[in-house]
Structure 1
Amino acid sequence: MLAHFHGVEYSEHYDELFKGLAVDQDVQAGTIMPYQYLILSLDFSAVDRDPDPKFAKVGLHEMINNSIGDFYRTYACYLGNKTDDQLIESLIHPNNAISSLQKCVSTVRASLRAVKGNLDHPLAGVKGIYLLADEYDAFANEYMNLKDTTGYDSIHREQSSLKDFWACVKASMGHQKITKCFITGVLPLSLADATSGFNIATNVSSKRELAGLCGLSSGDVRSALKTFCSNGEVEK
């Protein structure tokens, strides 16, 4: 739903998607504006989690590159005169997704600068890229084994692809670049490890207003406990 609210490509579908919803009140009040970003979505559950971490890293790069390819297929018509196939062929490095991301950010920034002042252009009012990373720990969790940490250590070693990727995201944050980033499915272990390259993030999981989005509410926990415990034990 974040993609549908913030992605510029959905600007003609506002009424059918959000009219009458709570967020519509904020839009009408001018406290939030939709359709100001180009959405780059990453789904880490789609990574081929091969038992061999070396092959798994290849899968990680493929997932990121495929996501950037989908980005170009969606936004090529906004980014100049090249087709999506031309952008993919010239800007995606098959063996280096970090390079692909850097080129993607540079392309978006150049496009936004080129249309500055042109209020009739579809990119008018667009701030940059909104990076949505979902199921982040689905990749790393495959290698968590208390009896043998070799696989996890290999995935998360000092110069790992994951750390390098998030360090690249951090370096790419800014005006007309990656302007926003929203990550879901991050365990505390990863916050202190793989995503440490992206140490500018804010953990919003405990915010009351986001309880329904980020996890279980107190009502959810109580209902689950009542299934296994007496009411008195639940109250304790």
Structure 2
Amino acid sequence: MNTFVQKRRPLGDRDTRSEAPQALTTAAKAGAADERAMLDLLLDRYTEIRRGSTSDRWIRAEHVGSNMGNDSKRIADFIAVDKYLSSGLALHGHEVKVSRADWLSELRNPAKAESFTRYMNYWWLVVPDSTIVKQGELPAGWGLLVRSGDKLRAQVRAPKLAPAPLPIELSLSLTSAAVRTANREPLRRDAPLARPVGAPPSCSACRRVAPCAIHQPRAHRAAVEGSGPQDR
């Protein structure tokens, strides 16, 4: 009769098979957190409200698909649209990479970025550390933004490109992503102040007197907590 005998592992010899998925999950979460931090820096970089105006210069869109629907296999991490006529209504596209391995994967698949670069006026690689990109690796026509404290600095200026007309499907995808990004922004930060001439500071998102409870929840909470009972 065949007898199955299970060998006992020596003490201290752990079975790490179940730990591998956990390690991958932890690494994925860390990578997502790093990307989120870079996206937040992009939100700040592309926010500009001139004194005396209530209008933001930029439209911001995170995770823009190359086409409509959930089956889009190619995603631009961040696109900023410059609304100023003096700038030629330029589109700035961004690819965020938070690790060397992430960047090498991008280099092996240039078609992904080409789905968007052909329609952008400027294209940027965004990294938390300049050592992610080695000398000579940055493709022609790309700029390089590197994290410096709480800001992004242009280590390589993106040259102005000659884009093709934006296809209607990509235009709709960009619009949809911009709406999603705007709806989520209060979760990440307060809307900036607008300072119109002859009027009190207002919320740049809805034009209400600041601080707005919806788009400036942190400033609104601080104002409520800082006021005395007689002021409420």
User: So what's the TM-score if we normalise by structure 2?
Assistant: 0.28
Higher strand share: 2
Whichever of the two has the greater Rg, that structure is 2
Higher helix share: 1
